[in-house]
Amino acid sequence: MICPRMPSRLFIIPLVAALLLTGCQKDEVHAYRVPKEVPPPSSTVETAASDPAASAQSGLTWQAPSHWEELPANGVRRGSFNATNADGDTADISLIAFPGDVGGLAANLNRWRTQVGLDPLPEAEVQATIEHQDTPYFHLDFVNYLGEADGVPTRVAGAITSHGGESWFFKIIGPASIVDAELGAFREFLLTIAPSR
Amino acid sequence: MANSPNPFLKFFTSLRLTVVLLVTSLVLVFVATLAQVNLGIYGVQEMFFKSFLVWVEIPNLGFSLPVFPGGYLIGGFLMINLVTSHAYRFRLTWKKAGIQLTHFGLIVLLVGELITGILQEDFSLRLEEGETRNYSESFRRNEIVLIDKSDPTFDDVVAIPEAHLDDSDPIQHGQLPFRVVTRAHYPNANLTMLDTLPAGTPGVVANLSDEGIGPRLALLPAPFTYNDEERNLPAAFVELVGTDGSLGTWLLSPMLTQPQTFDYDGRTWEISFRFEREYKPFSLSLIELKHDIYPGSTIPKNFSSLVRLQTEDGSEDRESLIFMNEPLRHEGYTFYQYQMDSANGFSVLQVVRNPARSLPYVACVLMSLGLLWQFTFHLTKFARRRS
């Protein structure tokens, strides 16, 4: 390979410059003052649910089936329920909100798949598992995955939508026996989700 | 070419250097193209092109070594080579004027790319209908913020870019009455409620937090993604240490939508890990968004956002309709229609600031004029000779 000879003492100049410039790219810790933020119109302050049948938290309301046991909400979990059958199998129903798109739809659905022992799918394939559902207020991306956890057939079903600058995840997960029995109630429940007034 | 007694000039005006640099850049582009399979476009740009040296991590040794010149180094040398050759060989004659102009256009192009690579900023601005914001958020970078909420009108923010979380020394800042110590940092991680996690779930790391919501969460590190369609969501265990000792350790992540608050020395503070923000001296409000479809189909025809722009000093207050290929431009920023969810009433704008955005156009005009001049000059000369 043809290579021009460079005077040795000159070679150091661009090399040092390159190393110095490479090291200058980290942003510094900085301080500033901003006016207090006004929350978007549809956001409301998070409060603990007091009525098991109708919750109004952080911009959404919903009507949960009466046989679901309501659990306390917390920072990310805006709503939480348990459904239990006669055999003692329990399904966990959660309503969770995170800011932004939380890594994208495919990443979130693959996260659910791994929770029931299924392998993540490529973007196009995971998109094909989505059932698109329109409720009176939202368009939901609904999925239903059957896998296995601890040797027990386990199902996760859930829907994802965006509201108030956040991604909302409505999910039921547990042994397939109880989730299969509660799936109808869960889908009815999804239809009741509405923006709070 | 006249022989130069100066070795510096001789080296940088060498045509062989040009050839070596062009071959090196070819190799760089080839390797980067292959690497794009695993790293994605952004990762490849950062590692191969927006760098002076290509660093490769040595497996099991925990450090990196430079293995190849990066885009900035090759481009920089090419530019020096071009400029010095240009200056050294420059002869102001009509015969060579076209070539000189073409090369000058190439220099402008290289300088423009360098400025773009260093100074271009790319953010997103997500607005709900009726919402007003005076900041945009980074697509990739994150920051830890400590906000003094004590003032009823203003928030005093200290922002710590995520890159500092890997520093071994505690982070100190004049506006913070405590030090920030990173106990653990995960560039990408999932969070889930601890009580919903089956016992013995693999991959859960030790929870170091003892304040805020952290103790109720489980943290599962995830592989760093280079997929252009995905975003890494980092997490960190951060301890605050005041003059009297530790204030506690918090688990922070952009996934935690509710900021965590605490009181210290009579002031109320908020701590969170969020997408890096850039505040602007003006605000945008989303008045109305539209998602038009072709009649009788669901095929999108047009996405548009009607926004209101207001400057802080009140000098400007106007409405603007942003739609495909019709961005809003203001104070060096360009707002493009990026994403939209009309069903849920929000629009996402891409916010780009590129001080050198006009330079590629200038370069193309210069090179076109140079080539046009050169060909016309020779054609005229040839035609005269024939006649």
ipTM: 0.77
Mean pLDDT of A13-36: 68
- Chain B hits for A139, CB-CB cut-off 8 Å, are 341, 343-344
The per-residue pLDDT for range B94-115, each reduced to its tens digit, is 888 898 899 889 889 988 988 8
Establish if B1 belongs to a structural domain: no
B268 and B334 share a domain?
Answer: no
Instruction: Please indicate, yes or no, whether residues B271 and B295 belong to a single structural domain of this protein.
Output: no
Contact A40 B130 (CB under 8 A): yes
B69 Cβ contact list (under 8 Å, min separation 6): B24, B28, B52, B53, B54, B77
Asked if residue B274 and residue B146 are part of one domain, the reply reads: yes
Between the ranges B30-34, B107-111, B293-297, B322-326, where is the mean pLDDT highest? Answer: B30-34
Domain boundary among B252, B278, B304: B278
Q: Tell me the per-residue pLDDT of B141-155, one tens digit each, with 9 for 90 and over.
A: 999 999 999 998 999
Looking at the fold, whether B272 and B188 belong to one and the same domain comes out as yes
* Confidence bin at A150 (pLDDT 50/70/90): confident
My answer on whether B211 and B99 are in the same domain is: no
Residue contact A4–B17, C-beta within 8 A: yes
Best of A10, A21, A29 to mutate (most B CBs within 10 Å, chain B): A29
Nearest to A164 by CA among A109, A87, A99, A110: A99
Q: Could you tell me if B87 and B215 lie in one domain?
A: no
Is B2 inside a domain boundary? Answer: no
pLDDT of amino acid B361: 95
Same domain, B168 and B102: no
Who wins on pLDDT, B199 or B30?
B30
Burial A31-58 (b: 16+ CB within 10 A, else e): eeeeeeeeebebbbeeeebeeeeebbbb
B233 within a domain of the structure (yes/no): yes
Domain span at residue B343 reads 123-132+281-351
Whether A82 and A100 have beta carbons less than 8 Å apart is answered as no
Runs of H (alpha helix) within A5-153: 8-22, 105-115, 123-128
Q: Indicate if B147 and B271 belong to the same structural domain.
A: yes
Residues B187 and B258 in one domain: yes
Residues B338 and B366 in one domain: no
| Mean pLDDT (whole number) for A70-84 | 80
pLDDT (0 to 100) of residue B343? 63
Overall domain count for chain B:
3
Task: Give the pLDDT mean for B366-387.
Answer: 91
Kindly report which listed range (A17-21, A109-113, B22-26, B363-367) carries the lowest average pLDDT score: A17-21
Instruction: Report the pLDDT value the prediction gives residue A100, as an integer from 0 to 100.
Output: 64
Same domain for B75 and B145: no
- What's the mean pLDDT in B52-70? 87
Is there a domain that residue B142 lies in? yes
pLDDT on residue A37: 77
Q: Which of A27, A29, A102 is the closest to B158 by Cβ? A: A29
Most confident residue range from A41-50, A161-170, B95-104: B95-104
Domain boundary among B263, B278, B293: B278
Q: Hey, are the CB atoms on A26 and B161 less than 8 Å from each other?
A: yes
Domain for residue B272, yes or no?
yes
* CA torsion angle B129 B133 B137 B142 (round to 10): -120
Q: Say whether pLDDT at A4 is over 80.
A: no
Q: How confident is the model over A78-82, as a mean pLDDT? A: 88
Distance from CA of B355 to the nearest CA of A (A): 18
Same structural domain for residues B180 and B163?
yes
Q: Quick one: tokens of A44?
A: 């409301």
Q: Flag whether B261 is in a domain.
A: yes
Give residue-wise pLDDT tens across range A116-131: 888 888 888 888 888 8
Pick the last residue of a domain from B246, B263, B278. Answer: B278
Instruction: With respect to residue B215, please indicate whether it lies within any of the assigned structural domains.
Output: yes
User: Is A125 buried (19+), middle (13-18) or exposed (0-12) by CB count in 10 A?
Assistant: exposed
Over residues B72-95, the pLDDT tens digits come to 899 889 988 988 887 887 777 888
Domain assignment present for B207: yes
**pLDDT value at position B344?**
63
